[in-house]
Amino acid sequence: MANKKVSKKDIASLLEQWRQQFAVFAPSRESGVAAFAEWDGKDVSFLDWYRNTVVPPKASFLPPMEEMFRFEKGTEGYNIKPRPEEENKRLLFGVRPCDARAIAIVDMTFKDAYQDPYYLSKRNNTLLVGLSCTNPCESCFCTSMGTGPAESADVDLMLVDIGDEFLIEEVTDKGKELTRDLKEATEEDEAKAEQSKKAAYDRVTRKLNTEGIKDRLLASFDDQGFWEKTAAKCISCGICTLLCPTCYCFDISDEMVKQEGTRFRSWDSCGFPNYTKMPMENPRQEKWRRVRQKVCHKYEFYPMTFDVVACTGCGRCVRLCPVNWDITQVIESVPDKTGVNK
Amino acid sequence: MTVADTRFFAQGNVYLPHIAVIEKIVEETPGVRTFHFNLKDEKLREEFTFASGQFAQYSVLGVGEAPFCISSSPTRPDHLEFAVQKVGKVTNALHRLGVGSEIGFRGPYGNSFPLDYLKGKNLVFVGGGIGLAPLRSLIWNVLDNRDIYNKVDIVYGARTPVDLCFKYDLEAWDKDKTVNMVTTVDRGDDSWKGKVGVVPKILEEVAPSARESAAIVCGPPVMIRFTFPVLEKLGFAPEQMLTTLEKRMKCGIGKCGRCNIGNIYVCRDGPVFSYAQIKDFVSSEY
Amino acid sequence: MEQKLRQEAKALLEHKKVDWIIGFAPGSLKFTATPLITNDKDDTERLVINPFMVNNLADFLTGLEGRVGIVAKGCDSRSIISLIQDNKLAREDVVILAVPCPGLIDLAKVERLVGKYRDELDDISRDGDKVTVTADGQKKEFTASQVLFDHCLACELPTPQEYDILLSEPRPPAPELETSGQNKAKLKETPPAERWRFWKNELSRCIRCYACRNVCPACFCQRCFVEETEPQWLMPIPRWQDNLNFQIIRNIHVAGRCTDCGECERVCPVNIPLRSLTREMYDIVGELFKFKSGMDREAQPLMVHYEQEEAEDSFR
Amino acid sequence: MTQQPEWEPKLLGFLCRWCSYAGADLAGTSRKKYPANIRIIKVPCSGRVDSLFIIKALRLGFDGVLVSGCHPGDCHYLTGNYRARRRIAVTKKFLEYLGVEPERLQASWVSASEGGKFAEVVSDVTDGLKGVGPNRLFSESKLDGTEAKAGS
């Protein structure tokens, strides 16, 4: 498929054109932190300062809090009022390849066996327009996790920075419709794109060797000493899980005011002690068990179930952790006991 | 990996509960009650089927939701039952309900006891406290098709005589000549004439043979942890040992991530497992 | 100073004087340090003193059994004293390795001043009051008061009052600079309704990750009121009403324990100005009861003690 | 929400059973008139009132909270009211800093013999609340200004 191109000057008009059919979300710093917000129609300054959002785009499909359904206690009993379906079409502009890959990974869980209506209704109504990274963070290690600063596998469109223009790779049909009346990209643009991708690829300095990690983790699953040392400085807060693009755990809670109530779904974290708390006992009360679960779910259990490592190297957990607990150091330090039969 | 059982979704949304009405409440022990209930929607009540060992998510709307096994047998579909021990927010709310109040019900979820694997075998049921609830569904299921199965041994125990659940069932099974009913308590009292001792020890005394048989274990985790070695000593292979595990659950369909043992989700890949399946992780994750 | 720390720490572990050592090791990112909690004497080689030791290590004390040697800056030592006064810790169980603190550099301020992200900077070096930041080869000079954390500018105790081992020369308290309470003062001028709307807006971003609570040495409850379900004070969902109530109650609970170490504001992933809350509570407690948490070894915990005449105007 | 013709503030009173509750009884038995806006919760001591109760009351929609206990020195438990004084003082100042109208949290010393003072305190507090209007602090006021329920 021939790629298209658009100059950085015309991005605003392109977004405006899309705004006629979609609710367009783009990165913004208005709220004091980099996040996706409804595009205000003119600000494209994010093209300069934007590296990645703090809250990952998964929040558009699995929001920090959402109403599942409401209910009323009438005289003749309860009456459950499900929420109306999400119809408004949305477009997320500026999704980084690591987050797009993460969305594809989370999709697997919400589509597997039982279909999750809340997540999928939003997911199927949203187009993802990727933006290649030109300035990866020191904490990013996407190139070691099977994706990269310009990987376009999981988005509808991928914009690759080639100087004062963007080369647009159309990945899906829905993406194609968006760029119908844009200019074709020339050979020379393609070459510039390749060169820009290569440059960005090399700027990712943090590396992680995940070869054989699944078996290493299975072998040292019961090595309490190792996990206690790894978890020593962790303060069990929720930053590295709630803000991780491949984490999807949620909590369900009810609230009732007089005769009307609501059931909510909200983010939850396996790092919290009450996550698995049962009245009689809590199988993961100790901190080292919870840290082990966090690491093993992503690098051992998910690969065992869906044959993909549930981490795309976005680096959020490394740069946002209050105590600089670094997943790449932990993975490298997992002892190799696979040789010794357990 | 179980396939989604979507027959009973309300309006295509797996999280929406149906309304069910409580018809009878049986006080098993001061802390445990069995609720007899039926789905309010006529059509749904006729269509609803489940298998022994499956569980469901019960809601007290406005308070919360909690998973309990369906403790009645599919062979007696006139009503459904589930047993609740008063230990937390939702269970306390359930214990405040009376006959005629409405609860939310969604399910059935999870897999069930492998009836065809158990065909023709000697069955050894090992239960502890309220752990008898899921076993009870299978026991009545077996006794209603008695000729398909061979010997039936039931070893059931509780902390004290007052804590014995389903006393009326224990008596019925004791009278049934085809069943070897052994009841024990950890600590007897003066009116208690039966055996005294923890379930694993009593199981060792009963010493059921492992040939052509299967053991179904359910009770507090500490009892399960000490029962498996006893069964192994009696010659039971890991495949012959079945158990149904209890975990904190929110969604019941393998999405919310908390009921895992290793890469296995108790809600969707269980709650019924053979010891072979969970042997790797059970030592440190259960 | 680092060399002395390593020897002392190693000696403490070797002679079984302590069972654990808590200190800092080099961080995995530029301009960071990471807490090091170890009982293995070889790890003491990795102990380090650098201008980015921002964590308040006292928070780890309540989680360890046995005697602990801890590297402590001024504000950390005040948290240790406050924990001792709350009977969470026995003084003989703690060996304080005192680090006179020159005030720590706030990387967020450097980023705003230099206009670059922290990992794009080549070096940050400090010489007394002069801080030089080199990025792409150019050197930029700033004064300490431009780049230090707000709470460091208002620091009342750079060197621990009470210690077992002093690692270098003690430092006098920095003169209180007006810049330290800027955004709080600005808030106080706005009308009440607008202030409330400001906090409603800020806290609608909160995702309830509880980093502010878990990083705080004053928050040491076994079971936090947020996790109570019977009665359920707050919903576990990140709705702004519940988030704001959480912050109000948390601040009331840490009144008289908070030593203004500024960690809650630093770790908040969505940049909520939490120190404008904690510092205000710190000032209220100072104003009403002349109480400075962790400064006076003999003081009784704030809410346990009382005076005959105080805070008369709050009761009719 | 449009102001009903005669909006009445809802006031929650935590009264210590030894002094203020007895004072309220005395106000009743001696026919002292005081507004009926107050709902009373009897507490063993003003020191029992946790700031959490005050915040939860405002969260549930009460327009004001009154904490009343024995005069300093008269406390049945000797020091309960001193502790209450510190706690209420800190809570009051902090809520004011956040933007909550000072009238919403009031505290008073009322002894068992001061029926008159109790009636006076309740009417003063109620007038104060009428001055500041209904408690919209936690309501999810939608963009068009209509109020959603407190619970939503």
Q: How many B×C Cβ pairs under 8 Å?
A: 6
Put simply, the answer to whether B14 touches A281 (Cβ < 8 Å) is: no
For chain C, the domains span 2-104+148-314, 105-147
Distance from CA of C282 to the nearest CA of D (A): 10
Whether D contacts B, i.e. 3 or more CB pairs less than 8 A apart, is no
Name the residue among D41, D33, D49 with its Cα closest to residue D119: D33
Give the pLDDT confidence score for residue C309 in this predicted structure.
Answer: 87
Chain D residues touching C308 at Cβ < 8 A:
72
* D104 at interface of C, judged by CB pairs closer than 8 A: no
Residues of C with CB under 8 A from a CB of B: 229-230, 232
Put simply, the answer to whether A255 touches D150 (Cβ < 8 Å) is: no
Chain A residues touching B13 at Cβ < 8 A:
69, 82, 117
In order of A145, A210, A327, A336, C130, the CA distances from A332 in angstroms are 14, 8, 9, 10, 39
Distance (Å, whole) CA A256 – CA D152:
9
* B92 at interface of C, judged by CB pairs closer than 8 A: yes
Put simply, the answer to whether C209 touches A238 (Cβ < 8 Å) is: yes
Distance (Å, whole) CA A3 – CA A194:
13
Average pLDDT over residues C112-127: 92
- D96 lies in some domain: yes
- B275 contact partners, CB below 8 Å, separation of at least 6: B228, B238, B239, B241, B242, B243, B282
Put simply, the answer to whether A260 touches D150 (Cβ < 8 Å) is: no
Average pLDDT over residues A173-177: 89
Least confident of A313-322, B239-248, C182-191: C182-191
Predicted confidence (pLDDT) at residue C206 exceeds the cutoff of 90: yes
∠ CA D20-D26-D31 to the nearest 5 degrees? 130
Instruction: Give the E-state strand segments of C12-160 in sequence order.
Output: 20-26, 33-38, 68-72, 94-98, 123-127, 130-135, 138-143
- D148 lies in some domain: no
Chain C residues touching D94 at Cβ < 8 A:
248, 251-252, 280-281, 284
List the chains bordering chain A where 3 or more Cβ pairs fall under 8 Å.
B, C, D
Put simply, the answer to whether B254 touches A221 (Cβ < 8 Å) is: no
If asked whether residues A194 and A222 sit together in one domain, one would say no
Instruction: Give the E-state strand segments of D59-145 in sequence order.
Output: 64-69, 105-109
* Total domains, chain A: 2
Distance (Å, whole) CA A194 – CA A200:
10
* C284 at interface of D, judged by CB pairs closer than 8 A: yes
Residue labelled with tokens 């680096």: A315
Tokens of B241: 């040992």
If asked whether residues A221 and A314 sit together in one domain, one would say yes
Average pLDDT over residues C101-119: 92
If asked whether residues A232 and A165 sit together in one domain, one would say no
Tokens of D53: 């109760």
End-to-end CA distance of chain D: 15
Distance (Å, whole) CA A240 – CA A269:
9
How is chain C split among helix, strand and coil, in percent rounded to 5? 40, 15, 45
Domain ranges, residue D117: 11-132
Give the pLDDT confidence score for residue D145 in this predicted structure.
Answer: 43
pLDDT digits (tens, 9 = 90+) for C51-91: 899 999 999 999 899 999 999 999 999 999 999 999 999 99
DSSP for residue B13: B
* Total domains, chain D: 1
If asked whether residues A289 and A173 sit together in one domain, one would say no
Distance from CA of A186 to the nearest CA of C (A): 33
- A236 contact partners, CB below 8 Å, separation of at least 6: A271, A272, A273, A287, A290, C214
- B284 contact partners, CB below 8 Å, separation of at least 6: A221, A222, A224, A289
Measured over the CA atoms of residue D74, residue D75, residue D77 and residue D79, the dihedral's sign is negative
Which residue intervals of B96-220 are DSSP H helices?
115-118, 132-144, 167-175, 199-206
Put simply, the answer to whether C236 touches A64 (Cβ < 8 Å) is: no
Give the pLDDT confidence score for residue B271 in this predicted structure.
Answer: 93
Phi, psi of C284 (to 5 degrees): -55, -50
If asked whether residues A160 and A23 sit together in one domain, one would say yes
Chain D residues touching A260 at Cβ < 8 A:
149, 151
DSSP for residue A11: H
- A340 lies in some domain: no
Q: Using CB atoms, which residue from C252, C304, C316 is nearest to D91? A: C252
Same CATH fold, B115-244 and B18-109? no
* A260 at interface of D, judged by CB pairs closer than 8 A: yes
Distance from CA of A13 to the nearest CA of C (A): 28
Query: Above 0.90 for ipTM, yes or no?
Result: yes
Distance (Å, whole) CA A129 – CA A16:
14
According to DSSP, the β-strands at A23-28 and A35-38 are antiparallel
Task: Decide: residue C161, CB within 10 A, 0-12 exposed, 13-18 middle, 19+ buried.
Answer: middle
What is the per-residue burial (b if ≥16 Cβ within 10 Å, else e) of B62-83? bbbbbbbbbbbbbeeeeebbbb
Chain A residues touching B256 at Cβ < 8 A:
249-252, 268
Distance from CA of D24 to the nearest CA of C (A): 16
Chain C residues touching D52 at Cβ < 8 A:
225, 233, 249
- D143 lies in some domain: no
Mutation choice for A interface testing from C22, C117, C270, C272 by most A CBs within 10 A: C270
Domain ranges, residue A175: 4-203
Mean pLDDT in each 10-residue stretch from start to end of chain B (286 residues)?
72 90 95 95 92 95 95 93 94 95 93 93 94 95 93 94 94 93 92 91 92 93 90 94 93 92 90 88 67
Name which residue leads in pLDDT, C17 or C186.
C17
Q: Using CB atoms, which residue from C28, C32, C209 is nearest to A237? A: C209
- A190 lies in some domain: yes
Put simply, the answer to whether C33 touches A139 (Cβ < 8 Å) is: no
Distance from CA of A119 to the nearest CA of D (A): 22
In order of B112, B137, B141, B213, D89, the CA distances from B116 in angstroms are 11, 16, 13, 13, 71
CB atoms within 10 A of CB D122: 27
Q: How many A×C Cβ pairs under 8 Å?
A: 113
Distance from CA of A107 to the nearest CA of B (A): 11
DSSP for residue A297: I
Distance (Å, whole) CA B163 – CA B28:
8
CATH of B115-244, one of 3.40.50.2000, 3.40.50.80, 3.30.390.50, 3.30.750.24: 3.40.50.80
Chain A residues touching D150 at Cβ < 8 A:
257
pLDDT digits (tens, 9 = 90+) for A277-312: 998 889 999 999 999 999 999 999 999 999 999 999
pLDDT digits (tens, 9 = 90+) for C150-170: 999 888 888 999 999 898 888
CB atoms within 10 A of CB D124: 17
pLDDT digits (tens, 9 = 90+) for D17-62: 999 999 999 999 999 999 999 999 999 999 999 999 999 999 999 9
Tokens of C247: 């912050």
Give the pLDDT confidence score for residue D147 in this predicted structure.
Answer: 45
Predicted confidence (pLDDT) at residue D142 exceeds the cutoff of 60: no
Put simply, the answer to whether C229 touches B89 (Cβ < 8 Å) is: yes
Distance from CA of D57 to the nearest CA of A (A): 14
Residue of D nearest to C304 (CA): D83
Name which residue leads in pLDDT, A315 or A113.
A315
Determine contact, residues A280/B239, Cβ cutoff 8 Å: no
Chain C residues touching D107 at Cβ < 8 A:
314-316
Average pLDDT, chain D: 89
- A105 contact partners, CB below 8 Å, separation of at least 6: A246, A302, A306, A308, A310, A312
D9 preceded by cis ω (within 30°)? no
Predicted confidence (pLDDT) at residue A341 exceeds the cutoff of 90: no
Put simply, the answer to whether A261 touches B61 (Cβ < 8 Å) is: yes
Put simply, the answer to whether A318 touches C28 (Cβ < 8 Å) is: yes
Residue labelled with tokens 């309990």: B68
Average pLDDT, chain A: 92
If asked whether residues A42 and A146 sit together in one domain, one would say yes
For chain B, the domains span 18-109, 115-244
Residue of A nearest to C228 (CA): A274
- A208 lies in some domain: no
CB atoms within 10 A of CB B132: 27
- CB interface of C with D, residues 144-203, below 8 Å: 187-188, 192-199
The CATH number that domain B18-109 falls under is 2.40.30.10
- C284 contact partners, CB below 8 Å, separation of at least 6: C255, D90, D93, D94, D97
Among residues A157, A172, A203, the one where a domain terminates is A203
Strands of D64-69's sheet in order across: D38-43, D11-16, D64-69, D105-109
CATH of the domain at D101: 3.40.50
If asked whether residues A184 and A233 sit together in one domain, one would say no
Give the pLDDT confidence score for residue D146 in this predicted structure.
Answer: 42
* D85 at interface of C, judged by CB pairs closer than 8 A: yes
- A339 lies in some domain: no
- A213 contact partners, CB below 8 Å, separation of at least 6: A299, A300, A309, A331, A334
Put simply, the answer to whether C29 touches A319 (Cβ < 8 Å) is: yes
Mutation choice for B interface testing from C223, C227, C228, C229 by most B CBs within 10 A: C229
Distance (Å, whole) CA B1 – CA B254:
11
Distance (Å, whole) CA A236 – CA A252:
21
Distance (Å, whole) CA C207 – CA C39:
35
